[in-house]
Amino acid sequence: MRRTRALLSQFSTNQLHLRNPWVVTFFAFSYPGFGNLILHRYAKALILILWELFINHQAKINLAIMYTMQGHFQSAKEVIDERWFILYVGIYMFAIWDAYRSTVDINKQYMLADREDAPMITLKMGVWDMNYLDKKLPWVALAWSALVPGLGYLYIHKVISGLFMFGYTTAIVYFSHLPQAIHWMMIGHFEQSKSVINMQWLLYLPSIYTFIFYDSYISTVEQNKLFEKEQSKYLRMYYQASANVEAIFQSAQVKSMKFIVATFEQTVFLEMAITAVERLGITKDKITALPLDKRSEPRKIFDSIHTADGFSMMDLAAVLGTIFMLLGAIYGFELKWGPILWGIIGAVSGILLGFSIKLMILKKNRTGVKGITSEVVVMIQCEEALLEKVEEVLWDHTALGVSRMA
């Protein structure tokens, strides 16, 4: 094979999957380097992110943006440093252009790898850590990222991104004096809160915060899909030989043999069930596993560990959350409650607005069964004496349904 779907290391999972070029471009626009970070191009992302921090700080671009949005045009002219600003423009435009171009190119590579049914590694062990494919809940990754930036990445074992975001956001929070500002705000001293905060540093946070919970969420969704693809390929390779199916149907004519059918969702419990059945003395040629092709249908409204497409509710919510949080922080500096509280209000309002718009769009054509659905059919040929034990094993490993055939 010329391509691979994914590469697992001790510290991260890098994979090919389809991405919306415009969403990636938006995050590159909101913060240079984030577009490449979504694409798992860490070296280029690190260069652009650190360059953005350095040049933006030297040119005071965040302050100039704030004063411009507030209508204080003279203050914007006075605060900006033209020597550094000219250097900023070229890199900023490159980050946007490169994010879009790279996304289109990587999408092509994914489609070719998918058509080749490219192989992938499922487990990587080393001295420092181990990484393996498994299903995780997208909403758990989002919740941890919202609580503390970086924790969502650690939940899905993207240690490199998690470590970087821990350090990066901690530095920005420290230099913005955000903890002191929150303290004064919580006790009702809004003017004191505004006076202590450093807006040049604070205005980095809206783009960073919404990007982190969006990227950790989408990465969880795509890793779940990667797990399903790898498991389906494994089942087709080892438990779908034509001889297996023929032998199983012939067994129905033998009185001493029984035929059991069970359905499962695609999780690690499915493989545990099959290996447990084999330990009872039933060989591979008496087991057939048939992964079901999923029906093409309108996108699901809410992603879960069972069904996920990655583009349902989070893309527009993240985009509007970033914009509204930034505007809330900028205009909140001149309002009574201050930039922190108005930034939070803006973020929540943008996210809820994004959810509402997508809900109205997607709900019109929503079809399909709610909850857990059957994804794999397992057929087992066994002696009548083993029938009860096989059924018990299947139920113990979370089978969705089990049936005997006489």
And the tokens for 39? 């694409």
> Domain coordinates of the chain in residue numbers?
6-231+299-363, 242-292+374-405
And the tokens for 102? 């790279």
Q: Say which range, 110-119, 355-364, 392-401, has the weakest mean pLDDT.
A: 355-364
Position 185 scores a pLDDT of 79
Residue with the larger pLDDT of the pair 301 and 268: 268
Which CATH number does the domain 242-292+374-405 belong to among 3.30.70.260, 3.40.630.30, 3.30.70.20, 3.90.470.20? Answer: 3.30.70.260
Q: Using a pLDDT cut of 90, give the percent of the chain over it.
A: 3
Pairing of strands 130-132, 123-125: antiparallel
The CA distance from 265 to 379, in Å, is 15
DSSP string, 137-149: -HHHHHHHHHHST
Signed CA dihedral, 216, 219, 221, 223: sign only: negative
Does the model's pTM come out above 0.85?
no
And the tokens for 121? 């590694």
Per-residue pLDDT, averaged over 187-209, amounts to 84
Residue carrying structure tokens 């783009």: 207
And the tokens for 87? 């250097």
Predicted confidence band of residue 297 (pLDDT cuts 50, 70, 90): very low
Per-residue pLDDT, averaged over 193-221, amounts to 86
32, 91 contact by CB (below 8 A): yes
Position 338 scores a pLDDT of 64
Report the Cα–Cα distance between both ends of the chain, in Å, rounded.
Answer: 44
Predicted confidence band of residue 298 (pLDDT cuts 50, 70, 90): very low
Helix, strand, coil shares, percent, the chain, to 5 = 60, 10, 30
Residue 365 CB-half CA count within 13 A: 8
Predicted confidence band of residue 112 (pLDDT cuts 50, 70, 90): confident
Residue 182 clears pLDDT 70, i.e. is over it: yes
Question: What distances in angstroms separate CA 369 from CA 83, 271, 296, 372, one per listed residue?
Answer: 60, 24, 13, 8
Predicted confidence band of residue 294 (pLDDT cuts 50, 70, 90): low
Cβ atoms within 10 Å, residue 301 = 14
Q: Say which range, 27-41, 228-242, 264-278, has the weakest mean pLDDT.
A: 228-242
And the tokens for 115? 């058509």
| Nearest Cα to Cα of residue 220 among 109, 111, 139, 315 | 139
For residue range 364-395, what is the model confidence (pLDDT) as tens digits? 555 444 455 668 888 888 887 888 888 888 88
Task: Show contacts of 57-60: CB within 8 Å, 24+ apart.
Answer: 57/200, 57/201, 58/84, 59/83, 59/84, 59/85, 59/87, 59/88, 60/200
Strand partners, 289: 378
The CA distance from 259 to 382, in Å, is 7
And the tokens for 399? 């089978």
Position 26 scores a pLDDT of 87
Per-residue pLDDT, averaged over 213-242, amounts to 83
For 126-189, strand residue ranges (E) read 130-132
Q: What is the DSSP letter of 312?
A: S
| Nearest Cα to Cα of residue 245 among 267, 264, 269, 261 | 261
Per-residue pLDDT, averaged over 388-403, amounts to 86
Cβ atoms within 10 Å, residue 360 = 9
Q: Using a pLDDT cut of 70, give the percent of the chain over it.
A: 80
Strand partners, 14: 7
397, 272 contact by CB (below 8 A): yes
Signed CA dihedral, 249, 255, 257, 259: sign only: positive
The mean pLDDT of the chain is: 80
